Amino acid sequence: MKCPECGKSSRVVDSRSRYSEVTRRRECRKCGARWTTTETGNRDAFKRCTRCRQVWPRSDTFYSADKRNADGLHSWCKPCFSKYDSRRKTERRVALARIRRSEAA
Ligand SMILES: [Zn+2]
Ligand SMILES: [Zn+2]
């Protein structure tokens, strides 16, 4: 990458990646200018579940399709969804059983 000050090539002093974001600290050998760049080129390859906060690859293997969302995938990952779904089914079964019991009495 070229230095924004003098246009000479720079070197990377430090780089750290967090999820799919890479932040690089750069320094120009020529004039000593310092700046940071953030590369988010492959950010779209990953998506964070809003429920369990895990980062999964952005694909329908990990997220169910949801047309209401901008990216076409649900904001919850599939593991969270199946957990939620099975709990909801159990709750309904319990509620139905309770109704049936009260009707029988
Ligand atoms: Zn420079
Ligand atoms: Zn999740």
Residue 43 structure tokens: 């950010």
Question: What spacing in Å lies between the alpha carbon of 39 and ligand 1's midpoint?
Answer: 20
Neighbouring residues of 35: CB distance < 8 A, sequence distance ≥ 6: 4, 25, 26
The reply to whether 22 and 48 lie within a common domain is: no
CATH number at residue 14: 2.20.25
Residue position matching structure tokens 């430090």: 14
Average pLDDT over residues 83-96: 89
The reply to whether 31 and 50 lie within a common domain is: no
**Assessment of whether the complete model's pTM goes beyond 0.85:** no
Question: What spacing in Å lies between the alpha carbon of 51 and ligand 2's midpoint?
Answer: 5
Domain count, the chain: 2
Question: What spacing in Å lies between the alpha carbon of 17 and ligand 1's midpoint?
Answer: 25
The reply to whether 51 and 89 lie within a common domain is: yes
The reply to whether 26 and 49 lie within a common domain is: no
Beta bridge partners of 27: 11, 34
pLDDT digits over 66-85, tens only? 989 888 899 999 999 898 88
The residue range of the domain holding 57 is: 44-105
Which pLDDT band, with edges at 50, 70 and 90, does 26 fall under?
very high
Residue pair 22/4 in contact by the 8 Å Cβ criterion: no
